[in-house]
């Protein structure tokens, strides 16, 4: 499975099998984390076999066996949240290519427990990773015309980029993104709000993957 196929197969999964991640899988995930950190200047970590991310009630009813996760953290900056969103998209899809499932968590984890893992850093969420009990279901999605418009005859790469964004996970499934294209230029924006900049980073990654980075340039990305 390549990254584009993973984009189509990935769905949110919140309940996982009681199976540990194999050592070779951990090594592959940690290498992917390292690549993203070097590229983006983030300090994301893979945390394994830790059951403190959720309280007892959530572990019982919602987050079953959610004990492995990417800790989305780094030095606080204006663009950190967007960078973490961008990196998390890559990590989620890469995990899918390895036969794993993921869940992007922004507000229901134990902040005290998670923030204690990276003192002095800024954390903008976690991404649970593991072997899902199920493969999940497609989320409800807006229509193409709700989020995108193109000035002139729409090229195939723009259409495929927007379709990719419609597959992307966003905070509370808002899909509050707007995409405008003209020639080879694309303007991407996201409504301000809870995790809006993280969502912007996720959508930017999905658009690049769907459209092909060689076909366009971003002239504006803001949230």
CATH fold of 3-130: NADH Oxidase (3.40.109)
Mean of pLDDT over the chain: 92
For tokens 């990276």, name the residue.
118
Domain ranges of the chain: 3-130, 144-222
- High-pLDDT (> 70) share of the chain, %: 96
The pLDDT assigned to 107 comes to: 78
pLDDT in tens, 67-125: 999 999 999 999 999 999 999 999 999 999 999 999 999 878 888 888 888 999 999 99
Sheet holding 148-151, edge to edge: 148-151, 177-182, 185-190, 217-222
Q: Which residue has the higher pLDDT, 12 or 64?
A: 12
Can you list the positions of beta strands (E) in 38-119? 45-47, 69-74, 101-105
Domains 3-130 and 144-222 belong to one CATH topology:
yes
CA 146/CA 163 separation, integer angstroms = 12
Whether 210 and 160 have beta carbons less than 8 Å apart is answered as yes
CATH topology of domain 144-222: NADH Oxidase (3.40.109)
Percent of the chain past pLDDT 90, that is, above it, reads 76
pLDDT in tens, 32-63: 999 999 999 999 999 999 988 887 656 656 77
């Amino acid at each position: 499975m390549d990254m584009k196929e993973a984009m189509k197969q990935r769905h949110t999964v919140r309940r996982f099998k009681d199976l540990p991640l194999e050592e070779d899988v951990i090594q592959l995930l940690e290498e992917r984390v390292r690549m993203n950190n070097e590229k983006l200047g983030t300090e994301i970590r893979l945390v394994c076999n830790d059951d403190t991310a959720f309280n007892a009630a959530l572990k019982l009813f919602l987050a079953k066996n959610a004990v492995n996760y990417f800790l989305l953290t780094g030095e606080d900056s204006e663009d950190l949240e967007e960078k973490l969103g961008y990196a998390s998209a890559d990590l989620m899809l890469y995990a899918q290519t390895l036969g794993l499932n993921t869940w992007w968590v922004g507000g229901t984890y134990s902040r005290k427990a998670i923030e204690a893992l990276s003192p002095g850093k800024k954390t903008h969420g976690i991404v649970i990773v593991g072997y899902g009990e199920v493969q999940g279901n497609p989320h409800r999605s807006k229509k193409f015309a709700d989020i995108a418009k193109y000035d002139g005859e729409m090229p195939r790469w723009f259409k495929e980029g927007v379709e990719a964004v419609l597959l992307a996970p966003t905070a509370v499934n808002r899909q509050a993104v707007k995409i405008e294209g003209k020639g080879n230029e694309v303007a991407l924006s996201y409504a301000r709000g809870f995790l809006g900049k993280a969502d912007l980073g996720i959508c930017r990654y999905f658009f690049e993957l769907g459209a092909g980075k060689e076909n366009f340039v971003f002239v504006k990305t803001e949230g």
